[in-house]
Amino acid sequence: MDGSPATPHILSMHRPAKPKPQTPPHLSTGYAVRVSVFFGALFLIYGVYLPYMPLWLKGQGLSVGQIAIITATPYILRDLVTPAVAFYADRTANHRRTIIMLAWIGVAATLALSQTSGFWPILIFAVAASIAMTTTMPLTEVIALHGMKTTGYDYGRVRLWGSLTFVVANVGAAEVIARTGSSSVVWMLAAAFAITLIAAHFLPRADRDMSQSEGTHALSLGMAARLAVTPLFVLFLIAGGTVQAAHATYYTFATLHWTSQGITPLIIGALWALGVIAEVVLFAFSGRVVAWIGIRGLLITAAASAVIRWTAMSVDPPLWALFPLQLLHGMTFGAAHIAAIHFMSQAVPEKLAGTAQALYASVGMGLAMAIATLISGVLYERFAGGAYLGMAGLAALGLIAALAMARLWRGGYVIELHIQKA
């Protein structure tokens, strides 16, 4: 302190923050490698948890209703927990330390699960592991986006390693389960959390740079609340959230429906893999795509592709048509995700980066996905493949929001912060 009175520091909503100097190439590569490794480690957890946790729960003697409760509870709780943890990380300017803490929680929770029986204890530890996993993602994105801003690397080429390791974990875990049974799931999860914990210690210390770039600010809960109700940010949450949530029928019932149509497990596996491949290819060239079509254009294209994809899926297309429709996954998921990440990087002050990511993950995607999944269950039970038409309607809502956002947003910050600078 130099004894002068504190003066307001304004982050203008009309222009992004001042560009930062480019990092030397060797440091840029090191930053990208460390974030890539962490994404790869984190998605080992997702690749085991998402497809196989219900199998482990069933092996513990839980009923279908109890499994549904354990699966749904994290969706509800993370709408509160994830933004709160992210706000804490933003306020303390220590995202890396918070990620390490969450990884420790994941390790402890999965080890506890290995020694636990009964619905209530399993519910407690399974929810803790799930929230640790999902809350880590938005905090990781903050560090990844800071690297993209300061070093100029292509975010998609860093993020694609997560998609690749998801597939590796998915296939590898299936082989382990086939040999040892479903009891191995919780041990694989513990190992994946442990690997993520190790990788977290090698994450770049981006928080120090972020603090220095904006000074010492007293981030308040009111600032986070203002972001949450800013009209442009709300439009973004609706657009990005509904396009992602429109995958609910696909994620929940695609395999079941394809099996009922007589499609073999080998072909079903190929269809799922094709969707991931399309996603990875887009991530690999995402920098060029964003430069070519722009953030707004990419989000609009993703929403329009979702309307087309799910409308076509609702009429039970022939097998040959499923392959090009699966390629659209690169647009309906990949393009929507890339657009969201770049939008938050450009439209939200870095001081609120973690809070923005958490709101997108928990409200824009988590809450929307939970609602869409419940709707999908009702629709699929009554209309089978026709349930996809409901998802097309949800995507259409996202398209309307994306068009409105594109018309109103001019490329600057969506919120103006007046923060006392020490």
For 292-324, the pLDDT digits (tens) are 999 999 999 999 999 999 999 999 999 999 999
**For residue 207, what pLDDT is reported?**
58
Distance CA 367, CA 381 (A): 22
**For residue 210, what pLDDT is reported?**
54
| Structural tokens at position 276 | 């991931």
Look up tokens 């709707």; give the residue.
Answer: 375
DSSP 142-160: HHHHHHHHHH---HHHHHH
With a cut of 70, which residues of the chain have pLDDT below it?
1-28, 64, 206-220, 417-422
For 265-280, the pLDDT digits (tens) are 778 878 888 888 899 9
For 1-43, the pLDDT digits (tens) are 333 333 333 333 444 444 444 445 545 678 999 999 999 999 9
- Amino acid identity of 405? M
| Structural tokens at position 25 | 């190439």
Burial of 118-127, coded b for 16+ CB within 10 Å and e otherwise, reads ebeebbbbbb
- How many other CB atoms are there within 10 angstroms of residue 343's CB atom? 25
Distance CA 43, CA 21 (A): 31
**For residue 417, what pLDDT is reported?**
56
Which helix (DSSP H) or strand (DSSP E) does residue 282 occupy? helix 265-284
**For residue 328, what pLDDT is reported?**
97
**For residue 123, what pLDDT is reported?**
95
Distance CA 99, CA 122 (A): 23
